Amino acid sequence: MGLLSIIRKIKQKEKEMRILMVGLDNSGKTTIVLKINDEDTSVISPTLGFNIKTITYQKYTLNIWDVGGQKTIRSYWRNYFEQTDGLVWVVDSSDLRRLDDCRYELHNLLKEEVLNLEAMDNSRHWRIVGCSAYTGDGILEGFDWLVQDVASRIYMLD
C-alpha cells in the first residue's frame, strides 16, 4: 500500500481537512474565519505569523490556517503548503489601489514549485465566490463548494 493510500485512509477515518487562507494584509482572512464560526468580529488585530482555527463544518473537521499577509511574511507562505487540502485566496475588491499587488502575489503563489500547479493546469479546481467578510454574505457558499470539492478528491465514498 502506497503512502498516498495510507494518508487517504487516515483522512477518510478522521474526515479532516487542512485549509490555507492567504491574501494581502487587511483583506479579511481572519474576519472570514471568525464569521464562519459565528465569533465576534468587532475587534481584529493584524495576524503576525499564523493562526489555526479548528471548526466542525458539515461532517468534516476543518483546520483553517489563517496566515498573515504583510509584505514581510509573504515569502514564508510556501512553508504552509505541505499537506494542505484546499487554499482560499482572499481579495479585498474594494481596495482598488492594491488590486495590482494582489494579482502579482497570486501569480507568485501559483508559480511555487511546491504546489506543482503547472502539472495540473487542466485539472485545477477553482472557483471565484463573491462574499463579504463584513456581513458574512457568500462565505458559506464558498466554503460549501470548497469542502465538497476537497472531499470529492480525498475521501472515498462511504
Is 70 an active-site residue? yes
pLDDT reported for residue 112? 76
Residue 1, domain member (yes or no): no
pLDDT reported for residue 124? 72
State pTM to two decimals: 0.84
Residue 57, domain member (yes or no): yes
The CATH code of the domain that includes 135 is 3.40.50.300
Residue 8, domain member (yes or no): no
Catalytic position from the list 58, 70, 83, 148:
70
90-98 mean pLDDT: 96
Residue 86 has pLDDT above 90, yes or no: yes
pLDDT confidence band for 119 (50 / 70 / 90)? low
Task: Name every residue whose Cβ is closer than 8 Å to that of residue 41 and which is 6 or more positions away in sequence.
Answer: 31, 34, 35, 133
Residue 6, domain member (yes or no): no
Domain that holds residue 90: 13-154
pLDDT reported for residue 125? 82
Determine which of 3-17, 47-61, 86-100, 137-151 has the lowest per-residue pLDDT on average. 3-17
pLDDT reported for residue 149? 92
pLDDT confidence band for 109 (50 / 70 / 90)? confident
52-81 mean pLDDT: 94
Residue 53, domain member (yes or no): yes
Residue 108, domain member (yes or no): yes
Backbone phi, psi, residue 49, to 5°: 95, -115
Residue 83, domain member (yes or no): yes
Residue 106 has pLDDT above 80, yes or no: yes
pLDDT reported for residue 52? 96
Please state the domain count of the chain. 1
Residue 36, domain member (yes or no): yes
